[in-house]
Amino acid sequence: MTDVIGLQEEISRNLNTQIEIENRGIDAFQVFTPFVLGDGDELKIILKRTGDTWRLTDEGHTLMYLSYQDIGLENNTRAEVMDRILKSHFMKDEDGRLVLDGIRTPQDIVDSIFTFSQGLLKIGDISMWKIERAKSKYTENFKSCITEGVKGRCVMFSYQSVEYDPGGMYPIDCCVRLRTGRPAYIFSATSTDKANWTAAAIYFFEKKQPYVPSCAVLQGKISGKPLLRLEDAADKVFQTPQNAAERLDTFLLKYENAA
């Protein structure tokens, strides 16, 4: 056991990062690494002796993490990716417990901890698929509804004001060219953080271009101070993209008729 504990310094040196090993019972140790899953949750890595060799196991933690993210592995694509990761990292799935067996020498332990950690991280990254799909769905829905709502006006998505924001610090989700030639800015608020950021962006452009109307389209659960802040900053807040599709033309006409 002392030899295993003594590996802590060697593992840290080989992986160029700080590793800690703590006793978790007879011939069992927990390995703490700085590697974390997408939400900041630490990897669970247990090193156990099995006869003349050692094994690494996550004790079911990684797949449980995916289940908490409402990610199942029944989908054929996910299952294929999972299988490729397991094979490329010499791992097995034993009823939900991910394991790496056949570790014999101290150097094997060093190499295996790195390989096992990377395998767990790649499997954990499957949870990001759902987030990316949600972002893609939000983007597609936003573009579709705005295109419908502008009624033929010129529209530019992912717009940057080179004149007033040359560094691109405040990208604009959509710039609509009014029939008078003036622009109008439309922002997509998909989260509380994006709502706060959108309010800051609107205030920024209000100082630079005081006569440019700005509106926001909600695409997430936003309430409290972030929503109040957004409503105070924007000339109009649409509650849903569908609401924007129906009422955006009326909003834009108001500024065209006032010109």
Please name the residue that has the structure tokens 């926001």.
216
Please name the amino acid found at residue 180: T
- Reply yes or no on whether the pLDDT at 1 is more than 60: no
Give CA–CA dist 80/86, Å, rounded. Answer: 10
Give CA–CA dist 57/20, Å, rounded. Answer: 16
Q: Please say whether the dihedral angle defined by the alpha carbons of residues 81, 84, 86 and 88, taken in this order, is positive or negative.
A: negative
CATH class (in words) of the domain with range 2-125 = alpha beta
Domain ranges in the chain with CATH number 3.40.1350: 131-257
Domain ranges in the chain with CATH number 3.30.1460: 2-125
Closest CA to 58 of 82, 85, 92, 109: 92
The least confident of 113-127, 131-145, 176-190, 243-257 is: 131-145
Contact 28, 47 (CB under 8 A): yes
Please name the residue that has the structure tokens 């003594």.
6
What is the band of 34 on the pLDDT scale with cuts at 50, 70, 90?
confident
Contact 46, 40 (CB under 8 A): no
Contact 237, 218 (CB under 8 A): yes
Give CA–CA dist 244/219, Å, rounded. Answer: 11
Token couple for 120: 């767990």
Q: What is the pLDDT of residues 41-54, one digit of tens each?
A: 889 999 998 888 99
Residue 180 to residues 93, 100, 161, 164, 252: CA-CA distances in angstroms?
63, 67, 18, 20, 10
Residues paired with residue 30 on neighbouring β-strands, in sequence order: 22, 46
Give CA–CA dist 70/51, Å, rounded. Answer: 37
Give CA–CA dist 177/191, Å, rounded. Answer: 26
Q: How many DSSP H helices and E strands does the chain contain?
A: 9, 11
Q: What is the pLDDT of residues 42-101, one digit of tens each?
A: 899 999 988 889 999 999 999 888 877 656 555 666 788 889 999 999 999 999 999 999
User: Domain 131-257 adopts which CATH fold?
Assistant: Trna Endonuclease; Chain: A, domain 1 (3.40.1350)
pTM above 0.95, yes or no: no
Please name the residue that has the structure tokens 């440019």.
212
Q: What is the pLDDT of residues 176-189, one digit of tens each?
A: 999 999 999 999 99
Report CA 126 to chain centroid distance, whole Å: 11
pLDDT, residue 73, reads 59
Give CA–CA dist 69/127, Å, rounded. Answer: 7
Any idea what DSSP says for residue 42? Answer: B
